[in-house]
Copies of this chain bind each other. A is one copy, B any other.
């Protein structure tokens, strides 16, 4: 399983991903799911993938080959075109592998999160479905998730706002969202990759990999659980009225 989340705010975006892959319950490996496209000056992209690792790798390989040749993501004019460009490679790999996978009961199910900015254009965040079509994050829905989404969603629903959430807080929300997922699902696991991008920066330098038992992540984990317990105890007690059907 996988959990990746992208958060967009007026100031930039945050991307975070886990690194656990498993085929069945016993073949568990570590694999980076966050892929950076940078170094051409006028644009940066980060892509995160969930679903079949083989298909995901193929998609990223094809995207990177084009990017390095000055085509594909290196040549598109807008983030919408970039999302479409990713969708084309999703469809290409799907066409190539679907028949062989499906005849053995596997599904073609790669989701891609794509965040980025092209100079002179706004920063943006998209999800590309396994069918290749793109969905854009909006001011009302300023985060997108792929993989094991549900455990990490409530904290994002409660806290993340496009206009008001600072990038620093968005990074904390992303880490807590991933930490919540790790806590509840063993098939999502470290290292955690985290990237923060401020609009118009055009570098992807603010990134960090948190390995298993990273002391900073452990501090956040412990402090967060402590804060939650205190917050629960600070809630008003439940008043049980004499008439329960009032």
For residue A220, which residues in chain B have a CB less than 8 angstroms away from its CB?
235-236
- Please give the count of copies of this chain that the complex contains: 2
Q: Are B158 and A240 neighbours in the complex by a CB distance under 8 Å? A: no
Once the chains bind, are A207 and B240 in contact (CB under 8 Å)? yes
Q: How far is the CA of A172 from the CA of B239 in the complex (A)?
A: 11
Partner of A236, one of B173, B184, B219, B239: B219
Question: Interface residues of A, CB < 8 Å — how many?
Answer: 50
Contact of A184 among B150, B175, B196, B205 (CB under 8 A): B150
Contact A237 B154 (CB under 8 A): no
A103 at the interface (CB under 8 A from B): no
A167 CB, min distance to chain B CBs, angstroms: 10
- Please, which residues of chain B bring their CB within 8 A of the CB of A194? 238
User: A12 → chain B, closest Cβ, in Å?
Assistant: 14
Asked if A171 is at the interface (CB within 8 A of a chain B CB), the reply is yes
Contact A245 B209 (CB under 8 A): yes
The answer for the CA separation of A150 and B3 in the assembled complex, in Å, is 14
Q: Which residues of B contact A157 (CB under 8 A)?
A: 180, 183-184
Task: Give 15 A-B pairs besides A154-B154, A168-B238, A209-B245 with Cβ atoms closer than 8 angstroms.
Answer: A151-B151, A155-B228, A158-B228, A159-B232, A172-B233, A172-B235, A175-B238, A176-B232, A196-B238, A205-B244, A207-B244, A209-B246, A223-B234, A224-B231, A227-B227
What are 8 A-B contacts with C-beta separation under 8 Å? A150-B150, A154-B180, A172-B235, A206-B240, A208-B238, A216-B236, A223-B234, A223-B235
Ranked nearest first, the 7 interchain pairs of A and B with the lowest CB-CB distance are A150-B150, A227-B231, A154-B180, A207-B244, A206-B240, A158-B225, A171-B238
